[in-house]
Amino acid sequence: MSTVQTSMPVQAAAAGEPSLWSRLRANRNWAALWFMLPAAAFLILFLAYPLGLGIWMSFTDERIGRGGIFIGLENYQWLWDDAIFWLSVFNTLLYTLIASVIKFAIGLYLALLLNRHMPFKAMIRSIVLIPFIVPTVLSAIAFWWIYDAQFSIISWSLIKLGVIDHNINFLGDSTWARASVIFANVWRGVPFVAITLLAGLQTVSPSLYEAATLDGATNWQRFRYITYPLLTPIIAVVMTFSVLFTFTDFQLIWALTRGGPVNATHLMATLSYQRGIISGRLGEGAAIATAMIPFLLAAIAISWFGMQRRKWQQGSNND
């Protein structure tokens, strides 16, 4: 923001000492402050204040409909030896890790594929975006039918094909349920990764590839030594976002499983909602939500410090 240009001419030091007001009027930083104020007010009102309020609430026993009193760390103490809370932490980490890795792999593959010249390129690129455009709740309901214990289209097809002889218990078995929600999340998240990486790929200058081809580089070598290093900053950004979105996912889980079966798919966000809003313990719900912050900060820190380093930006041999 220090580059904000004001058209105010710097007042010539006229006769004697200029007043405080005229000095302020001439001060660019003072003007910049005013320019920033609307944005800052917006951020404070809608981001900082709710966040602060949430953290404060986690130290109280506030319930819906009546204020709480400060109880220190009591909410956290109860969470500390709460098996369901730790299960939700485990679930969230598992969900985020696996879904993000798969989303990255498929997204990168799709981006490389879409970066080639092919017929109907524009149309195919827009089709890829569809899962991202469909409202989450709608796609979750579609998946809910696909995974239904009795009416699943997958089970039905496989039974008709004679591959299996009874319905697959998609959302009723812990392992199946975890795999199912991860699949749904991946389906939804891949387009974002793919399209963003595609945008990154298109900034890579074709002359680099031409030079490499002349030097006799193989396909793999071109990817490894040109594409990958030049794409790293974009990867860092897109994966940070992807991890943050996945970690805080709520709608998909809530529509599909409500955290069941036996809490095997309860994420921290869904547990926080269940405890905070559904059973009315705002303080406890806030404590669970606050417990997410360190994880999110860690994810941001990793990519932020990573992006500061040239090694990440320009390949490993370039310090």
Summarize as ranges the residues that interact with another protein (CB under 8 A). Answer: 63-66, 78, 81-84, 148-151, 166-167, 169-174, 177, 257-264, 274-275, 277-282
Q: Which is nearer to another protein, 181 or 235 (CB)?
A: 181
Radius of gyration of the chain (CA): 26
Q: Which is nearer to another protein, 27 or 167 (CB)?
A: 167
Minimal distance, residue 84 CB to another protein, in Å: 7
Give 84's contacts (C-beta < 8 A, 6+ positions apart). 263, 266, 271
Minimal distance, residue 61 CB to another protein, in Å: 9
Q: Which is nearer to another protein, 46 or 305 (CB)?
A: 46
Minimal distance, residue 91 CB to another protein, in Å: 13
Q: Which two tokens stand for residue 41?
A: 């007010």
The 8-class DSSP code of residue 72 comes to T
Q: Which is nearer to another protein, 69 or 122 (CB)?
A: 69
Q: Which is nearer to another protein, 84 or 94 (CB)?
A: 84
Minimal distance, residue 247 CB to another protein, in Å: 22
Minimal distance, residue 89 CB to another protein, in Å: 16
Q: Which is nearer to another protein, 173 or 307 (CB)?
A: 173
Instruction: Tell me how many helices (H) and strands (E) the chain has.
Output: 17, 0
Q: Which is nearer to another protein, 230 or 268 (CB)?
A: 268
Minimal distance, residue 152 CB to another protein, in Å: 9
Q: Which is nearer to another protein, 65 or 206 (CB)?
A: 65
Nearest-angstrom CA–CA distance, 38 and 19: 27
Minimal distance, residue 147 CB to another protein, in Å: 8
Nearest-angstrom CA–CA distance, 32 and 280: 44
Strand partners, 70: 60
Minimal distance, residue 162 CB to another protein, in Å: 19
